[in-house]
Structure 1
Amino acid sequence: MSPSPLNSVKQSKVALGSYTCDLHHVENLLEHSGLHSSRSGNTHRVCESSGSIIIKCKDLCVLQLDIPGMEECLNIANSIEALSSLDEVTTLYPFYYRPSYLSLQDPWALSSPEQDFGDITVLTDRWRLSQVNRDYGVCPSYPPAVIVPVSVDDKLLVKAARFRQGGRFPVLCYYHRPNGKVIMRSSQPLQGANRKRCREDERLLQAVIESSSLGYIIDTRSAPLAQQARMTGGGFESKANYSPWRRLHRHLDKGKVLQESLTKLVEACSDQSHSMDRWLSRLEASRWLSHVQSALAAVGLLVECVEREGCSVLVHGSEGTDTTLLLTTMAQLILEPRCRTLPGFLRLLEREWVLGGHPFQLRHTHSGHSHARLRQEAPVFLLLLDCVWQVQRQFPLALDFGETLLLHLAQEVYASNFGTFLCNSDRERCTLGVKERTHCLFRYLLRPKEKDKYTNPLYQPTDLVIWPSVQPQCLQLWQGLFFRWIHNNKHLEEAREEIQSLAAQSRRLGCRLSMSQLEGWRWSRAVPRIG
């Protein structure tokens, strides 16, 4: 792909929008004048110098811009580099994006803690909505309102927050309707080497299970890492002080390890010169699918504790803003049918990740092309989308949305026209006026014209819990993401359009498109299977 200089400048502009990129390098192709023969046989004189800019974008697309004139090439390169590395959040493109079909007066969010609490009060009176964090003074990364046990007052919450890293005391994120058990999330307790205790924190967790004999704490760190955390002031809940709770460790990599894994995978997918053995070796060396398997296995344990053991669960790692959110999100997708609808899934992401305090800005400064060793980089949200894709592939009828939505979210989280994934917390968004000065991505995706692009025409609602397999042979590389710009997806796009057409026709006739009909259509047209 070799756009003209004018298109190159346009590309540098969208560095603030849907194609934010990392400038890779600029190299000279010609350093002196000469004759150049085109494919048509015509001969013409090229300029005295020219250059090529290779741009590796955050959506994994690689662009090569061939520009006549070395000076102009360098000027364009400098412009792209400057526009793709802006430090001030308020200078980013979402603050200037003003489409005619959206208004800043439109509601910004899909849901709120108040609405979530309203759903729970219909089922039980054991929980209350606390405004203890209304000024973000107790926990900077929590929303102003949180759901906690009704028997716990705000003074106790303040003291419990001081005992948890970043003030992230245990809060409710899911109420399981069939048995009344809950999933809580928090950060690690600040036990330290002296094994400090906090009776308020102990009372808070005791209020979660009340008369139940057992609750589970799933720590997303290994036992040795949790022990090491004591040396830096962290730690875990001791058996002596949290006797009704049983602690389980399921180590999930994050940070540098996960970022390097993504980089190795992207490099392997981009190199089309190696043999089959070499490709499989590099795929295994990246360990990306191992991270997917570990995450889904930990989610399976969490779901089993709630659904089969009938116990409430607290999930945390260290900060409680990364792998913790991955587990609680995937567990709700598997347990709760409402989270498998398109609106329900977007509300789930908003509740757990946007309001839940995932530091999007820190985690997604660079993508899989980057070799920068930034401490805060971690594609945990991308790992979540991959896990959702694995579930979608194993249960093609269970989710109301398709791969197209997941691919779109994977792009939006790195570079977006919308303000949903800006900043690192709800507090920062309020301080910078994100909700008043930008548009909401999730609201946009639910507009009728957009919604049809992302829905699954084969969707058949079920109240059953879906249990994805984590066996190695059941997990696949997400080709739609990692080979998106390498393979020609024309046939897959045609197949998706045809399926959408068949589904629309079936709805008009008052019947449902079945998998058997899809299989017959697929073989009759020799179209490759989607997913």
Structure 2
Amino acid sequence: MTTEAHASHGARWTTAFGLQGDVLTAQRERYERLKQHLAFQVDATKLADPATTAQDIASSSGTCSHILNDDDTLLEEIQKDLDRLHPSGNERFFQNAVFMSTLRNVLLVWCRLHPDVAYRQGMHDVVAVVLYALVQNEEADGSRQSNEETLPEGVEADTFLLFEAVMLFVKPFFELVETSHEAVYRGPGGTYGRRLFASFSLRKNGSGAGSTTVQSSETADRKHEQPVLHRLCHHIQYEMLQQKDPQLYYHLKNLDIIPETYCLRWIRLLFTREYALEELLYIWDALILDKKRAAIEYPVINMTNKSDNDLLQLPRLLMESEESTWTGFPLLRYICVARLLQMSTQLRQSDNTDCLRLLMHAYQDEDSDSSDSERQNRAAAFTRFAKILQDPMTEETEEMGIGIDANEPKQSASPAAGSNVVKVVSFREGLLGLVLTAAGAPYEKRLAVKAFMRDPTASSGVGQAEASRKVCPGDLLQSINGVPIVGVTTEEVKRHLQLLDRPFYIAFRRCTDAIGEDAGSTWGNTNTAESPDAPSSLTESDTASSEVKQPPFLPGELCYANANASMQRLLLSHDGSCQSHYISGKLFITNYRCLFTHLLGDGEIKWQVPVLSIASIDRIDSKAGSTGATSSSLLVENAQAALGFTPDVSSKVVIRCKDTQVARLSIADHSEYKMLVKCLSFLAFPKSLLDAFCFAYSPTVPPSDKAQFDIRQEYKRIGLLSIPDHLRCIDQSSGYALCSTYPRYLIVPAGIADVRLKAAAAFRSHQRLPVVSWIHRSNGATIVRSSQPLVGLKSARSDEDELLVCLLCSSSNKQALGRYVIMDARSQLAAVGNKALGKGTEVSSNYPGAKLIFMNIDNIHSVRQSQAAIAAVFESKKSANEDTSSSFYGRVDASGWLRHVRLVLKASVDLAHTVHNGTSVLTHCSDGWDRTAQMVALAELMLDPYYRTLRGLQVLVEKEWCSFGHQFALRSGHARSDASNDQRSPVFLLWLDCVWQYLRQYPTECEFNESFLLTLADHVYSCKFGTFMFDCERQRNDFFAKHRVFSIWSEVNSHSDRFVNPMYAPSEHVTLLSPSTLSKNIKLWKGYFCRWDPTIIPPVPSFQYY
């Protein structure tokens, strides 16, 4: 590092801040006068009490009396921190008594001028850097020695002026935010209680509606209510880092690393603890000399009429945007991100403890043995990286030789990085038009442009990359949004781009020898040129050769394997017998589906099922024997061999699906058989749900622009937000502090304390306390849902729970005179049996006005057994002992499925009629997420015409099933190979069957059709969309904050013509419509259960929407 360069820091900062000529002279005199008024001659070894001097000055100068805050501890706090000021490698420098006195004076004057902030720990680190830069200037030119007892004229004043200028940008980060007054309410008897949960109001927070990429107004309001420092910390990790390095962002999020733990110190102290002072000076150069930084306006000081009023005039920033008020130095946040990216590899390999250790590590002298010139080059490269992150287009300008800053040293490119010519392309919405491949030696860890792809949607037919005229085949992929792309795969690049907002910037380095003979897999543009729905990944695979006609794949769908196979088909012959034969074709296995096409066909799909809809895979290996072969099949094989017939040596696979499909495949090639079974088992039963297709599905744009579901909007539509005297909407916050399996926003009584709500929740299974789900606009009767109370064998009770139920069921409904109904969805025997487990049902005598009714709906185990039984009735198979028609109907009835449908419908009808007649109902089953959801959702369908529309049924499913915590993943067995798991149960399918019964009885009252119900039934298992993933709203929010997924409603709404009932003609002025629950009016849902049986006459369409 040269002496001249080192000596220039203080002078460069002074000039950059506009402290030159008369302005500098006037500001220096202003400091000397301030020092006389506000600072005191203090012996460094004997601290004098400044209070006496302050009182004298205050009495003699009324003008400044409001500045002179009599704070006896201020000087003591400053001195305490200065005594601990020992920057690693510069300890002796700050042991100089003159330097320490200067720092003390500067801090004291500044703190007296800013009583709103006063002194905060860390300010001494900032001012120390300023003094170091200025004093090093003097020592570098030989004008003074470090052990001199006095400073050159003007150095102390310049230290104050530079510190004051720096603090204009970072002062907000030291400010304390006043805590708002605690929300209180007047409860029963005039007592006051503390609010633990925030209340939601549409008037205050706005609609809250919006898409996944747009913040709700409520989120924005809360963001602006946060302290400035916390806002910036969150902005850096949760927004900027997510755009620059999504993998690191997710890693820190998974480890629960919050940005305040490390970023707070980086921002407040401007990295004074993270770097050696010699290196830090160059980082500060970048911050201060940044042309995007706001300018400073200094007050005009009258040099002839020296009035104390001039001392009250402070410099101010000339803001150009509101953003400047909370981001400080514009480059600061990008330097924070650059530091995170520098540590990205280490951080991603570390656990929580090691990550925190890395992020919070302070510089020590032993950390580096670099020379001054090496530190300078390292700092220059680091700040240049930050500037590229700030504006990726500057990477092109820099590499072309213009340079970002004339004062920064130019670095030559590495020989392994190609030439110095770098071009940056801005990609808008649409196709990229690129094929990337692994580069050859000597660029083994880089990706290169292999070819361009055409864009049929563009008028010229040319993709964006080729149209830019900045990219050539063979160019190396340099960076994305300024982040270097090294050591990543094409699939990782694809995932990275899918998470970025448009436009994004990709830099390409000109290279002519990057593509060799060993170039590997390729990565295509967002869509292929042939089809708007083609996959986004074009991977050269040995398993899918070019001569194989592949079926059309979805965006993000990748083919993992394919093989020649035969599939068994059953047909009904003219004589009424069932004939079986195998048809030859090609079996494809992708990350979403298992597909079968005719071998000589045009790629048309003859059979398909999502891999996560597979319940079990039974293997019949011709070499190893059958895993499920029967003795009769072995006898047939032995007889064929004895008669001289060629035995069938092909291997068989029986795929049983959760939607009742059964596929039987025959594969002649044993090696292909083993490969396919292994691949299919891996995809059907992955180790993690993160391997589900919804995380890879990437249509170019969301199929629908309709507003995302917001339960607060539904509460408003229903009328639950219109009676604030009785009911209020609380916000559990993102931590779901009250109940983790409920929606974030809950409707509870206005007249109960939050602490009592927590007590009431503790008395319910899984803390699923009673909350309002729906209200009758005319009579005020409510539908309240919960889980069972924790009564136990000793009949425990809870005053809080009893009060909560009473307020929910009677406060808004005066007509019922305090009477309400508790509907337990279980049988009385089942409810009593739960007492042995510490649970049970309400004791009606403890709930004045309550009437307890048991609805006798069977549990999940009975429903699961019934579905298996009825699926077996319609399983297509050729058997010598064909069932007679009488036994067929007997088997359908014996399955018990229709009985379950009738019981759920009857209980829901009773619930709807009770509420319609003006009596509120509290309903629950065991845990409140299975039978409770069935009853509540069906009753609301009968009571509210809105839920009978296509959009309304979507809202109903989101509210009562998704938001209130039906365990879709557990009940559907997502990614689980244990088909006999006793927690699996088609609870949601049973509800859809009840809705179909309603649609059949009222064909003109429902806007949706049967196809819509079938689509929902299939996609509960498919995992193509995020709607039915995981077990509660909180889990979905946690995972979907890290991964972009699409909702099934977007798909439905964009193709609504397929799901609209052409007979829809709703009756006017009719609210309650209840179906008949007589056994003779409950029919089998053939559209679902019979669609795979080819022997049914007339045939049932095998509807699928995958």
TM-score normalised to the size of structure 1? 0.83
CA deviation after TM superposition for structure 1 residue 6, in Å: 8.3
State yes or no: 1:296 paired with 2:899. Answer: no
Change (3 A) 1:349 1:331: same
Change (3 A) 1:107 1:344: closer
State the identity as a percent: 31
Instruction: Give the structure 2 partner of residue 388 of structure 1.
Output: 995
Amino acid aligned to 1:381: F
In 2: Cα distance, 1:436 partner to 1:75 partner:
30
CA contact (8 A) 1:49 1:70 kept: no
1:69, distance to aligned residue in structure 2 (A): 1.2
> Which residue of 577, 580, 589 maps to 1:10?
589
1:120-519 equivalence runs, <5 A: 120=719, 123-125=722-724, 126-132=726-732, 134-208=734-808, 209-210=810-811, 211=814, 212-270=817-875, 273-308=882-917, 310-365=918-973, 372-433=979-1040, 436-447=1043-1054, 450-462=1055-1067, 463-487=1070-1094
2:566 maps to amino acid: S
Instruction: Give the SS at the match of 2:694.
Output: helix
Is the Cα contact below 8 Å between 1:185 and 1:324 reproduced in 2?
A: yes
Give the secondary-structure state (helix, strand or coil) at the position aligned to 1:328.
Answer: helix
Could you tell me whether the CA contact under 8 Å between 1:329 and 1:352 is conserved in 2? yes
The residue matched to 2:747 in structure 1 has which SS?
strand
Q: What is the RMSD of the two structures over their aligned residues, measured on CA atoms?
A: 2.9
- Distance apart, 1:47 and its partner CA: 12
Q: AA paired with 2:898? A: L
Instruction: In structure 2, give the amino acid aligned to 1:388.
Output: V
Q: Return the letter of the residue paired with 2:969.
A: Q
Q: Give how far 1:29 is off.
A: 6.6
Please state how far the C-alpha of 1:136 moved relative to its aligned partner.
1.4
Distance 1:233 1:72 in 2: 54
Q: CA–CA distance in 2 between the matches of 1:203 and 1:314? A: 13
Shift of 1:464: 3.3
After superposition, the C-alpha distances for 1:20-48 in whole angstroms (9 at most, x for unaligned) are 313332225799xxxxxxxxxxxxxx999
Seen in structure 2, the aligned counterparts of structure 1 residues 397 and 29 have a Cα distance that, compared at 3 Å, is farther
Matches within 5 A, 1:98-137: 98-102=698-702, 109-117=708-716, 119-120=718-719, 123-125=722-724, 126-132=726-732, 134-137=734-737
1:283 partner letter: V
Q: Output one character per residue of 1:91-133: Cα deviation in whole Å (capped at 9) or x when no partner.
A: 1111001122428x97883232354236415753322101146
For the 8 Å contact 2:718–2:775, the answer to whether it is kept is no
Read off the aligned partner of 2:836 and give its amino acid letter: M
Pair 1:24 & 2:24 matched: no
Is residue 163–residue 198 contact of structure 1 (8 Å, CA) maintained in 2?
yes
Q: Deviations over 1:449-488 (max 9, x none)?
A: x111001011112333112111111011100000111147
- Given that 1:110 and 1:442 are in contact with CA atoms closer than 8 Å, whether structure 2 keeps it comes out as no
Counterpart amino acid of residue 588 in structure 2: V
Q: Is the 8 A contact 2:996 2:1085 kept in 1?
A: yes
Amino acid aligned to 1:360: F
Does the CA-based 8 Å contact 1:18-1:416 persist in structure 2? no
Distance 1:219 1:232 in 2: 17
Distance in 2 between residues matched to 1:435 and 1:336, nearest whole Å: 36
TM-score norm. by structure 2 comes to 0.41
1:394-427 alpha-carbon deviations (Å, 9 max, x no partner):
1110100010001111100111311110100111
Aligned residue type for 1:295: V
SS at 1:446 equivalent: helix
1:56 counterpart SS class: strand
Distance 1:435 1:342, change over 3 A: farther
Shift of 1:10: 2.6
Q: Which structure ranks higher in relative contact order (CA pairs < 8 Å, sequence separation ≥ 6)?
A: 1
Report deviation, 1:49. Answer: 4.0
Query: Shift of residue 363 of structure 1?
Result: 0.1
Q: Tell me how far apart the structure 2 counterparts of residues 489 and 342 of structure 1 sit (CA, whole Å).
A: 31
> In structure 2, which of residues 667, 675, 679 is the aligned counterpart of residue 67 of structure 1?
667
Q: CA deviation at 1:5?
A: 9.4
CA distance in 2, matches of 1:489, 1:148: 53
Matched, 1:92 2:692: yes
Structure 1: how far apart are the matches of 2:685 and 2:679? 10
Indicate conservation of the 8 Å contact 2:1092/2:1102, yes or no: no
How much has 1:137 moved relative to structure 2? Answer: 2.4
Q: Secondary structure at the match of 1:190?
A: coil
Contact 1:185/1:315 (8 A) holds in 2: yes
Helix, strand or coil for the counterpart of 2:921?
strand
Partners in 2 of 1:494 and 1:258 — Cα distance? 24
Aligned-partner Cα distance in 2 for 1:67–1:454: 38
- Structure 1: gaps spanning 5 or more residues: 32-45, 496-531
Change in 2 beyond 3 A, CA 1:435/1:118: farther
Structure 1 window deviating more from structure 2 (372-381 vs 427-436): it is: 427-436
Structure 2: 5+ residue runs without aligned partners? 1-564, 568-582, 595-608, 625-645
Give the structure with higher Rg (CA): 2
The farther-off stretch of 124-133 and 374-383 is: 124-133
Query: Amino acid of the residue matched to residue 265 of structure 1?
Result: I
Decide whether the 8 Å contact of 2:857 with 2:904 is kept in 1.
Answer: yes
